[in-house]
Structure 1
Amino acid sequence: MRTPWIVASIFASFFSSSSYSDFVGLNIGSSFWVPGVSGSFNSSNNSNVPVSNRATSDRKSNQSFSVKFEHPIPALPNVKFQNFALTNSSTADLNNVNFNGTNFNGNHTSNLDLSHNDLTLYYELLDNWVNLDLGLNLKQIDGDISVRDETIGINETIPQIYISARFDLPTTGFYVGADLQNISILSDNKAENSTLMVGYETSSGLGIEGGYKSFSINLDNASSLNAQLEYDGLYVNGYIHF
Structure 2
Amino acid sequence: MKKYALSIGMVSLLGCVSAQADTLLGLYAGAQGWNMETIGGFSDDGTNIAFNFEDKTQGSFYVAFEHPIPLVPNLKVQRTGMDTDGKVSLTTSFTFGDELFTANSTALTDIKLTSTDAILYYELFDNDLISFDVGINAKYLDGELFVIDSEDPSTSGREEFSGVVPMVYSRVAIGIPTTGLGFYIEGSFLSFDDQTLTDYQAALTYSLMENLAIDMTFQLGYRSVEVDLDDLDGIYSNLEFKGAFAGLELHF
Q: TM-score range by the shorter chain?
A: 0.7 to 0.9
Does residue 99 in structure 1 map to residue 106 in structure 2?
A: no
Deviation at 1:131, TM superposition (A): 0.5
Deviations 1:81-104 (A, max 9, x none): 001111011110123211121111
Please give the alpha-carbon distance, in whole angstroms, between the structure 1 residues aligned to 2:196 and 2:222: 21
Give 1:75's aligned amino acid.
L
Please give the alpha-carbon distance, in whole angstroms, between the structure 1 residues aligned to 2:111 and 2:26: 36
Contact 1:217 1:228 in 2 (8 A): yes
Does residue 180 in structure 1 map to residue 187 in structure 2?
A: yes
Give 1:124's aligned amino acid.
E
Please give the alpha-carbon distance, in whole angstroms, between the structure 1 residues aligned to 2:135 and 2:233: 29
Question: Percentage identity across aligned positions?
Answer: 27
* Residue 68 (structure 1) aligns with: 64
Give 1:180's aligned amino acid.
G
Contact 1:113 1:144 in 2 (8 A): yes
* Residue 137 (structure 1) aligns with: 137
Does residue 199 in structure 1 map to residue 205 in structure 2?
A: yes
Equivalence map 1:1-242=2 (5 Å):
21=22, 23-45=24-46, 47-53=47-53, 58-94=54-90, 95-105=92-102, 106-128=105-127, 129-148=129-148, 149-184=156-191, 189-201=195-207, 202-204=209-211, 205-242=215-252
Contact 1:218 1:227 in 2 (8 A): yes
DSSP-derived class of the 1:61 partner: strand
Give 1:84's aligned amino acid.
T
Stretches of structure 2 lacking an aligned partner (at least 5 in a row): 1-17, 149-155
Deviations 1:66-89 (A, max 9, x none): 001000112100000001111011
Give 1:117's aligned amino acid.
T
Contact 2:187 2:200 in 1 (8 A): yes
DSSP-derived class of the 2:56 partner: coil
DSSP-derived class of the 2:188 partner: strand
Contact 2:206 2:217 in 1 (8 A): yes
Deviations 1:134-155 (A, max 9, x none): 0000100111212124111111
**How many residues align structurally?**
220
Stretches of structure 1 lacking an aligned partner (at least 5 in a row): 1-16
Cα 1:184/1:119, change in 2 over 3 Å: farther
Larger Rg: 2
Contact 1:77 1:122 in 2 (8 A): yes
Please give the alpha-carbon distance, in whole angstroms, between the structure 2 residues aligned to 1:191 and 1:143: 15
DSSP-derived class of the 2:183 partner: strand
Contact 1:158 1:184 in 2 (8 A): no
RMSD: 2.0
Deviation at 1:49, TM superposition (A): 1.9
Give 1:38's aligned amino acid.
I
Deviation at 1:224, TM superposition (A): 2.4
Deviation at 1:239, TM superposition (A): 1.6
Please give the alpha-carbon distance, in whole angstroms, between the structure 2 residues aligned to 1:208 and 1:224: 40
